[in-house]
Amino acid sequence: MSHEKKLEHHHKAAEHHEHAAKHHREAAEAHHAGHHEKAAHHAHIAHAHHLHAEHHGDEAGKLHAEHHSDAVGSLHGAHH
């Protein structure tokens, strides 16, 4: 079960990052065209997708840590 849950969180994080990037591009295009209200709208949506991606990334990380705490701890210590 946890394996599937980790995969789901990783995939959802990636999807939200992709959606955020799309909305950032749309915001840039709207801003360039002088449509500042539309640009702000897309920037706001992009930010929301970023927050959702961050949440799913955090949840995936928590699940990894719960099930692989010894390995995560040793890897984390090696990077510092």
Q: What is the pLDDT along the chain (80 residues), one digit of tens a residue?
A: 588 999 999 999 999 999 999 999 999 999 999 999 999 999 999 999 999 999 999 999 999 888 776 655 555 555 54
Angle at 48 between CA 30 and CA 51, to 5 degrees: 135
| Burial of 75: CB neighbours in 10 Å, binned 0-12, 13-18, 19+ | exposed
